[in-house]
Amino acid sequence: MLLQLQESKIREVANAGIGRDDVLPFWFGESDEVTPDFISQAASDALQRGETFYTHNLGLPELREAIAQYTSALHGPVSSARIAVTSGGVNALMLAVQALVDAGDEVVVLTPVWPNLTAQPLIMGAVLRCVPLRPEGGAWVLDLDALLAAVTARTKLLVLNAPNNPTGWTLSAQEQQRILAHCRQTGTWILADEVYERLYYEPSANACAPSFLDLAKADDRLVVAHSFSKSFLMTGWRLGWLVMPADLTPQLGKLIEFNTSCAPVFVQRAGLVALQRHQEVTPRVVAHLRQCRDTLVPLLQALPGVQVSPAPGGMYAFFKLQGCDDSLDTAKRLVHEAGLGLAPGNAFAPEANGWLRWCFASRELQRLHEGAARLRRWLQL
Ligand SMILES: Cc1ncc(COP(=O)(O)O)c(C=O)c1O
């Protein structure tokens, strides 16, 4: 099985250019802005106090409570009995898949998608069925009937990531309602990767993308994965969480014991402060990311042969480049010939070959202008 796992094509491109100061990197999904001081300070303080020991498998009770309150404010009541603290979003998702999928189980995944979400079920020996979004102009759209037709009583798990990496596509509340109703009938679990829920640029009452948690009952077969990485500028800290039905939480605790035992305690302390003072971080991050999106997308749209629409959520411009029939090859050439580091579309699904992903989370807007100028020059426009 391990041999079937593909090496990341994003890494393949980055390895070609990492450490070269003539390359402007936009390949990974993270901001180049460091974590706010008050969050780092909370970790230092915890270390100074001697907080260097294991915690409960499911996390510090006060952090679980803070996550429950944060989630409840966005989506309606969620108790801390439904929360597990994890070592990042990646770990949250892997734990959920370990908990829900046995070898031979059928898992349906909507693509294009961040490659971890297809790799994790494969690691568990699942039979994977991918349902593609459909490109329309520079955007991607969901054929809901095709998705629902693919999810049957044989489907153990449906994996959805919205707002989506790489396409920026998001699910509407109406679509979530139909998916939930369908999965109730088929007995299928939903694993919703909502790590980008706060990076949402459409008008909304709670500055948040539509979530399955807005609609589901506490005992629905729904697990939602979250992360501190994106909305709190904490990628390197490796902290995330899961929301699930309360009777699954103790089972998750057992799995955490055998994976990581717990998230590092001083990292959890930092996470607690991040949540307590989230209003000082997230709205500013999102306002800046909107500016980044609104800077980059028009620059790309002005290039003949480029098709792209402003994403309603996430931190990526995903664009189709005319004449590019091998994204990996094009991305490598862009590194070598243009000094521009982008992620290849075929890292996310075969149907996204010909597309490139640009992470627009850049502290300096000027970097986006410079990157677009490099692309323009490379296209010899
Ligand atoms: C769709 C999606 N889910 C989850 C994650 C996990 O992030 P982390 O492990 O940093 O919390 C990422 C990171 O890029 C992502 O793009």
pLDDT, tens digit, 9 for 90 and up, residues 281-339 = 999 999 999 999 999 999 999 999 999 999 999 999 999 999 999 999 999 999 999 99
Q: What phi and psi, each to the nearest 5 degrees, are found at residue 105?
A: -65, 150
Confirm or reject: Cβ of 112 under 6 Å from ligand 1: no
**Predicted TM-score of the model (pTM):** 0.97
Confirm or reject: Cβ of 166 under 6 Å from ligand 1: no
Strand runs labelled E in the chain:
24-25, 83-86, 106-111, 127-132, 134-136, 139-141, 155-161, 189-193, 222-227, 240-243, 306-307, 316-321, 340-341, 343-344, 355-359
Q: Whose CA is nearest to atom 11 of ligand 1?
A: 89
Tell me the chain's radius of gyration from C-alpha atoms: 20
DSSP 220-278: SSEEEEEESTTTTT-GGG--EEEE--GGGHHHHHHHHHHHTSS--HHHHHHHHHHHHTG
Distance 374 CA to ligand 1 centre (A): 28
| pLDDT for res 4 | 77
Express each pLDDT in 111-151 by its tens digit. 999 999 999 999 999 999 999 999 998 899 999 999 999 99
| pLDDT for res 381 | 65
Q: Which of 46, 49, 82, 42 is nearest to 65 (CA)?
A: 82
Q: Whose CA is nearest to atom 13 of ligand 1?
A: 29
| pLDDT for res 121 | 97
Distance 116 CA to ligand 1 centre (A): 9
Express each pLDDT in 38-65 by its tens digit. 999 999 999 999 999 999 999 999 999 9
